Amino acid sequence: MKSKHMPNLQSARIPTGTFSLADTTGWTFTAINFDLDGNGSIDYTTTDPADTVTHTYNTPGCYTATVTGQDAVSGDTVTSQQVIAVIDDQDLEGRLIGLWRGMLHKLGNGDISGALSVISPPARDRYQSIFTDLQAELPTVVDDIGDISRSALGEDLAEFQVTRNRDGIPHAYLIYMMRNGNGVWQIEGM
């Protein structure tokens, strides 16, 4: 049985994933089977490669979604797989707050290069200048930063708010974190 490659499945915001196919085969399909949670059971079947399939993942973890199509004329099959990482929003929020606090800890200890390692490359030069200029005051600045809380959390972008009191008046500052092309979250702006 001959096999062709079908492009990866595309997924939307987790825990509900929306999958669509980019059919490059030009085949007429007798069946396109979706196993979206990697358990070996077919979750959805169609013959139309333009169909959009939605699946809800109830438990955080990694799932291998597999789609297999069979050509009506030749009987050949084509299969594609995509790993889906389901992350609980609270878990992600905790990890991103940990990223922020870890950077602050490094700054407080004078480890500017360590702090810069969690900042995205486009922003690194700007913050290196700021951190270097403030180097002597960094422990005091870090101690006075304030509390962090989530404002918005998306698939590749997160916004947090740092609130600190000055003269009894709360002031809010926004922190932006982005997930890069390798899936690594970094601080983009503060």
How confident is the model over 85-135, as pLDDT tens digits?
Answer: 787 788 889 999 999 999 999 999 999 999 999 999 999 999 999 999 999
Structural fold of domain 89-189: Nuclear Transport Factor 2; Chain: A, (3.10.450)
Residue 122 tokens read as: 């486009």
Mean of pLDDT values over 136-154: 90
Q: Any idea of the CA torsion for 104, 180, 120, 152, to the nearest 10 degrees? A: -50
Arithmetic mean of pLDDT over the chain: 86
pLDDT for 182 beyond 80: yes
Ranking 18-32, 87-101, 137-151, 162-176 by mean pLDDT, the lowest is: 18-32
Computed on alpha carbons and rounded to an integer, the radius of gyration of the chain in Å comes to 23
Residue 94 tokens read as: 């905790």
Q: What backbone phi and psi angles, to 5 degrees, belong to 110?
A: 80, 10
Separation between Cα atoms, residue 139 and residue 141, nearest integer Å: 6
CATH of 3-86, one of 1.10.600.10, 2.60.40.10, 3.20.20.140, 1.20.1300.10: 2.60.40.10
pTM for this predicted structure = 0.64
- Cβ atoms 114, 127 nearer than 8 A: no
Start-end ranges of CATH 2.60.40.10 in the chain? 3-86
Start-end ranges of CATH 3.10.450.50 in the chain? 89-189
Q: Tell me, what's the pLDDT at 4?
A: 40
